[in-house]
Amino acid sequence: MTVKETVKSEPQGQIAKAYKFAEIAHSKQKRRTGEPYFVHVLATAEILNSWHLDEATIVAGLLHDTVEDTGTTSETITQEFGDQVTFLVNGVTKLGKIKYRGAEAEAKAENLRKMILAISEDLRVVFIKLADRLHNMRTLSALPPQKQRRIALETHEIYAPLAYRLGMQNISGELQDLAFPYLYPEEYRWLKAQVAEAYEARLKYLEKLKPVVQKALEDKGIRSATIDFRAKRYSSLYKKLLRQSMDVENIYDLVAMRLILKNQEACYGALGIIHSMWPPLPGRIKDYIAMPKPNGYRSLHTTVIGPEKKIVEFQIRTEEMHDEAEHGVAAHWIYKAHGGANPTQQKRVFDEAKWVEQLRRWQEHHAGTNPDEFLESLKVDFFRDRIFVITPRGEVLDLPVGSTPIDFAYEIHSEVGDTAVGAKVNNQIVPLSHELRSGDFVEILTQKNKKPSEDWLTFVKTSNAKDHVRIALRKKQTGLRKMAPLKSEIKMVTKDRVGLIKDIAVVIARSHVNLEGLTTALVPGGNFQSIKAVCDTADKQKIERLILKLKAIKEIKEISYRLLEHQAA
Ligand code: MN
């Protein structure tokens, strides 16, 4: 049932009440598109409804702009709709104040902190914000260009990754696709022209293949398979093209064939049947059912050499997995309704939810656990035991739970870690063993020539910090005090371009790595140059992360690194 239908069928319900309340509150406002403003809040609520969220969330979705954009006070919301709804609306209002511009570090830090706090307090606030953003992105063309760019950038860098992290891949992908033409208009036009033909051809080919697959499955007793095609999203296609020499012909999963089956056994069965018909490409069989992606995504993927020697990607999953891939954590939120909502709503919610069986099973396993504990377990699970803290420069670092200022210091830079003498958290001095929490502002006090102390090893959490402390202690013991920090050299073979060196230097600086030297030389033949960058770190993890980022620069054709011998200072 849609929100509109619920309003009709339950005119006395909370949703109907919020609907009328919002309609009146926004009656004088229009959107840039010329439509009444109410259209936007209703669309937001409809999106939340389609994710099967609970009543309070849908009510808050209808009311989400009343405090910000109309004269309504949060006291009025509390009187009319209670504390829970007010809490959600206030959360969204707070998130609305966040304006990410990608540059102003100060504003970024403060705002990201708010956002992160809101996340850890109640994920439903984030769901409303994502639904709100989704509708705003779908209607972005009505805004002036500058605003379009800012909102698209924020979507690209903050909200889409956030949705992905919450397992809402589909929503994340849609947000990225909506942002793409605004951020990269030329690339978008190029891509559209490139892809149109290839896409047509692939689709025709798969249409022919579909009945063949269907029959093969049925012959082996796998019935009621839903087979459809999933076109690769423009945004992820573009990312892939950047890695693969910009040749659309090389993208095998431009359109993938998706099989949705009854149960897990059928999935593995289907995989076997497909492999018996067409040889799979080595290294392309992915079992995300046995080993889900970190964000919870489950599916079997394989790529085979199909008829006419054409390469086809298959994605195989159950309906439940499919639903989870679409809705992510939102899919689990329904449980809340099971605990507190009225019977009609419970029924509505249960009728629509396909994964409810899974939750029932969970409940059997955890008999006696109350819903709050269940939600708690979800939170921990979905944030994968990570905390988010903010650097004085306004960047967000994610660290394992239990991390201390020392872990933080080494994450920023090995030298900061080695010379740390004290720490401030939210402007208050704390011991170096202090346990950090999400949303903390952390600052490290350093003193030149200080050395790590052995007892740091008893409380640091990250292997990065442990390794560095050990290295520093070893140096201390062997009396090699004057040793210069270990270095590394990154070697790249690139095409030349004006501004390339600057781009490389920027990527390095953003990774908190100091560039100590950079040399370029022409590779014989004249088409390529080789660039060597000496960096002041020998932290393999850090360098490998940096290399991943550098690979996104399309002129870089080859990249490798080596650790340099340490030299006396
Ligand atoms: Mn809104």
Range list of H helices, 383-462: 405-412, 414-418
In a domain, 8, yes or no: yes
What pLDDT score does 484 carry? Answer: 52
Residues 460 and 492 in one domain: no
Here the CATH number for the domain that contains residue 511 is 3.30.70.260
Q: Which of 443, 476, 509 is the last residue of a domain?
A: 476
d(CA 107, CA 114): 11
Segments forming the whole domain that contains residue 541: 487-564
Q: What's the pTM value of the predicted model, to 2 decimals?
A: 0.56
Distance 207 CA to ligand 1 centre (A): 40
Q: Which of 312, 327, 342 is the last residue of a domain?
A: 327
In 58-142, DSSP assigns E strands to none
One domain, residues 199 and 304: yes
Ligand 1 center–CA 135 separation, angstroms: 8
481 is a domain residue = no
Measure the CA–CA gap between 318 and 227, rounded to whole angstroms.
12
Do 135 and 222 sit in the same domain of this protein?
Answer: no
Q: Which residues on adjacent β-strands are paired with residue 399?
A: 387
List, by residue number, the catalytic residues. 68-69
pLDDT at residue number 353 = 34
What spacing in Å lies between the alpha carbon of 69 and ligand 1's midpoint? Answer: 9
Between the CA of 132 and the centroid of ligand 1 the distance, in Å, is 5
Per-residue confidence in pLDDT tens, the chain, 569 aa: 899 999 999 999 999 999 999 999 999 989 888 889 999 999 999 999 988 888 999 999 999 999 888 889 989 999 999 998 998 998 888 676 655 555 444 444 334 544 544 554 677 888 899 999 999 999 999 899 989 998 898 888 778 877 776 667 788 899 999 999 999 898 888 888 888 878 888 888 999 999 999 999 999 988 878 898 887 888 888 887 777 766 777 777 778 899 999 999 999 999 999 999 999 988 889 999 988 776 678 899 999 989 988 889 999 999 888 877 777 656 554 433 334 333 333 333 333 333 333 333 433 444 444 444 443 433 333 344 667 777 787 666 778 889 999 999 998 888 999 999 999 998 899 999 999 987 788 999 999 888 899 999 999 988 889 888 988 888 776 655 445 557 889 999 998 888 888 889 889 888 888 888 888 888 877 788 889 998 888 888 889 889 989 988 989 988 988 887 655 43
Cα–ligand 1 centroid distance for 136 (angstroms):
7
For residue 178, how far is its CA from the centre of ligand 1 (angstroms)? Answer: 17
Q: Tell how far the Cα of 26 is from the centroid of ligand 1, in angstroms.
A: 11
In a domain, 556, yes or no: yes
372 within domain boundaries: no
Per-residue model confidence (pLDDT) at position 369: 44
Same domain for 19 and 56, yes or no, is yes
- Ligand 1 center to residue 497 CA distance, Å? 42
